[in-house]
Structure 1
Amino acid sequence: MIRIATLAAAALLGLTAIPAHAEGDTLTLTYETGVRTGKVMIAVFNSEVAYNGGEPIVSVEADASGETAVAVLRDLPAGEYAVRAFHDVNGDGRMNTNPFGMPSEPYAFSNNAVGMMGPASWERAHFTVSGDTAQTISIR
């Protein structure tokens, strides 16, 4: 319903109508895991605010049964993104930590960014998606 109203408003203002299905860009994330089991749990963020404690725009899982795990996200709008991921080795669906709160399962950030006593910053982890974009990330 909102889409129809938007198209009608565009027509009244003499603007070019938006196509019914605008194809976005593709982001391919390849995680180097080594030979392991489980899944790589991936969260994709499109803003610094979301990355620093908000909700991801999309969360996906990639099978980690071999040397790499691959996730392909299609129809993303061009823009700035950052990715957080962890290797859910034991398959419990959450990142396990030790008694001090430090991760006990391998994890990674886009750009292979590294944090200091915490997650990598948006400044280090963000990248631009434009057209077909790919990241190869080592999980440590």
Structure 2
Amino acid sequence: MKLAIFSLFILLTASQAKSDFGTIEITISETSSEQGVVQVLIFNQEEGWPESLDQAWKMMTLPIENKVAKKTITDVPPGNYAITVFHDHDEDGEIRKNKVGYPLDSFGFSNNPSLLFGVPSFSKCSKRVSADVTTQFDIELR
């Protein structure tokens, strides 16, 4: 009987802790080909945005299928999150840039902001992730 009560306590505690997290679903479209991968950086703070590997909350490499890359991340603590991505054709983990620093690889940001005045801010690209909610990030590569 004690084992059954203990097991029930553990189960209820685990399900309660699970409800303190949200889920992020990422869909990256407009890839020019299925060659290579999509490199993803997810930030939960403005510091380091948009390219500091050391300050990103999560870093991942996604395969491309049917010219789309997708990923679902569970157990995401509530907060603001912004995502930056690029199509890494040669799979070397680095975005190729021209002589003035403009990316040669296709790239994108969450919320698909205008790029008229340079790199968009963390606040323009971020979305709120809440407990028990799935937050969708649809990113179009440019």
TM-score, with normalisation over the residues of structure 1?
0.78
- How far apart, CA to CA, are the structure 1 residues paired with 2:32 and 2:93? 20
SS in 2 for 1:51: coil
By how many angstroms is 1:103 displaced?
Answer: 0.4
Look up the SS of the partner of 1:123 in the other structure: helix
Q: Report 1 or 2 for greater relative contact order, CA contacts < 8 Å, sequence distance ≥ 6.
A: 2
TM normalised by structure 2 equals 0.77
Q: Report percent identity of matched pairs.
A: 29
Structure 1: give runs of 5+ residues left out of the alignment: 1-18
The runs of 4+ residues in structure 1 deviating greater than 4 Å are none
Deviations 1:53-81, CA, capped at 9 Å, x for gaps: 65101001111242210022111011111
Cα deviation, residue 119, structure 1: 1.7
Residue number in structure 2 paired with 1:14: none
Confirm or deny that 1:132 pairs with 2:129: no
Contact 1:28 1:134 (8 Å CA) reproduced = yes
CA RMSD of aligned residues (A): 1.9
Residue 115 of structure 1, CA deviation: 2.9
Residue pairs, 1:41-80, within 5 angstroms:
41-51=39-49, 54=52, 55-80=55-80
Matched pairs, number: 122
